[in-house]
Structure 1
C-alpha cells in the first residue's frame, strides 16, 4: 500500500477515494476517525489519508487528483454584455440562461 495524500477533512477524502475507485483505481481512506483526537495529537497527524492498494497506479491517481483539485473555471458572455464566471448557468444581471 502507498499513501497518496492527506485530505483536509473526511468528506473530501471520501470524495477523492470515490473518484479514484470510479476510475478503476483501488484506494481507501485511512485515519477515518482520528479527527476527534485533534488537540491530544498533533493536528497534522489526525487528518484523513488516501491510500492506494497498488503502487503502479500512483501516476494515474496523482493525475486524477490534480484534475479534481484544479478544475478550470468557466467564463461566458451573456447577450446583455455581462461576463459570468464560475459554475453559474444564469446571468446575474438579466437572468438569461447560458
Structure 2
C-alpha cells in the first residue's frame, strides 16, 4: 500500500476515495478517527489519509485528484425560480431546473 495524500477532513477523504475506487484504483481512508486526538497529537498526524492498494496506480490517482481540483465553477440564476446557483452545479437545488445553455 502507498500513502497518496492527507485530506483536510473525513468528508473530503471519503469523496476522494470514492472517486479513485470508481476509476478502478482501489483506495482506502486511514486515520479517519484520529481527529478526536487533536490536542494530544500533532495536528498533522490527526488528518485522514488516502492510501492506494497498488503503488503503481499513484500517477493516475494524482492526476484524477488534480482534475477534481479544476472542476468548472459557475454562477447562474435559475430561470425557474430566480435562485442564484454557484459552484459546479448544472441543476437548481431549489426547483430542479437545469442550467440554461
| TM-score bracket for the superposition, by shorter chain length | 0.7 to 0.9
Q: Aligned-pair distance for 1:68? A: 1.1
Query: Hey, which bits of structure 1, 4+ residues long, moved more than 3 A?
Result: 84-90
User: For residue 24 of structure 1, what is the aligned residue in structure 2?
Assistant: 24
Structure 1 gaps of 5+ residues are 77-83, 91-96
SS at the partner of 1:25?
coil
Would you say 1:45 and 2:66 are equivalent positions?
no
User: For residue 2 of structure 2, what is the aligned residue in structure 1?
Assistant: 2
Alignment root-mean-square deviation, CA: 2.7
Number of equivalences: 90
SS at the partner of 1:50?
strand
Q: Which has the larger radius of gyration?
A: 1
Structure 2 gaps of 5+ residues are 77-84, 93-98
Q: Could you tell me the TM-score, scaled by structure 1's length?
A: 0.77
